[in-house]
Amino acid sequence: MGLPKTRAEAKAVGATHYFTGKPCKHGHIAPRLVKGTCIECRKIEWQVENERRKALPKSEASKEAGRRYYEKNKELVKARANCRPTSDKREYRKRYAEKNRDARNLDTLLRKRRHRQATPKWLTAEDHSRIKSIYLQAKHMTELTGEKYVVDHIVPLRGTNVSGLHVPWNLRVITHVANCKKHNKFDYRF
């Protein structure tokens, strides 16, 4: 390291850091700031302060600034989100579900209602059996491969131009990732 050995030397040459090689009062052997503590202590202080700030409620101005940033940098924000580890995404969804239990329950209720309303009355018992077997196939493929498979509506139940039915010939098993990419579009490629 090319840092000065003492604080006085660092001040004399106009450096912002110095390195003694001795542990600080908390036991860190790291460079120190001329105006304060060692770098490791500073990192810990910053993390504690950052966690405290995260716990504070956000002001409307802060929320609006976040929305403006997202609108300006939509692609960058999405790219960063896609790069996050799966465990972090799973933890975020879990926390969201716990905080917004009523909203999650409502979403589930509405999704089930859409399926029920999109299922024609004229379906036979054999058709209902085929629908059930498609869902079982998705579950079985998930267990076999370890990758999550879901049942997709080829023509979405709530499409923008056309809406499909919840019938066996409109269902197929695809990966969860492919289904998320397809979203609510009528697209055979997936």
| 40 inside domain | yes
Tell me the β-bridge partners of 149: 175
Tokens at 86, concatenated: 């799966």
Tokens at 84, concatenated: 């996050």
Range of lowest pLDDT (116-120, 122-126, 135-139, 143-147): 116-120
pLDDT of residue 180 exceeding 90, the answer is no
- In angstroms, the CA 154 to CA 190 distance is 9
- In angstroms, the CA 22 to CA 35 distance is 17
| 38 inside domain | yes
Confidence band of 57 (pLDDT split at 50, 70, 90): confident
Please report where in the chains the tokens 């933890």 appear, as a residue: 91
Residue ending a domain, among 34, 56, 78, is 56
pTM of the model: 0.50
| 82 inside domain | no
Q: Give me the domain span that covers residue 37.
A: 1-56
Q: What is the pLDDT of residue 171?
A: 93
| 109 inside domain | no
| 94 inside domain | no
What contacts 92, CB < 8 A, 6 or more positions away?
none
Residue ending a domain, among 19, 38, 56, is 56
Alpha helices in the chain (DSSP H): 7-13, 39-55, 60-72, 74-83, 86-99, 101-118, 125-145, 176-182
Residue ending a domain, among 16, 38, 56, is 56
Q: What is the pLDDT of residue 56?
A: 86
Tell which residue, 34, 47, 24, has the closest CA to residue 4. 34
| 145 inside domain | yes
Q: What is the pLDDT of residues 1-46, one digit of tens each?
A: 588 898 899 899 998 999 988 898 889 999 999 988 899 999 999 9
pLDDT of residue 165 exceeding 80, the answer is yes
Average pLDDT in the chain: 89
Please tell me the total count of domains within the chain: 2
What contacts 119, CB < 8 A, 6 or more positions away?
165, 166, 167
Tell me the β-bridge partners of 18: 32
| 91 inside domain | no
pLDDT of residue 190 exceeding 60, the answer is no
| 165 inside domain | yes
What contacts 1, CB < 8 A, 6 or more positions away?
19, 31
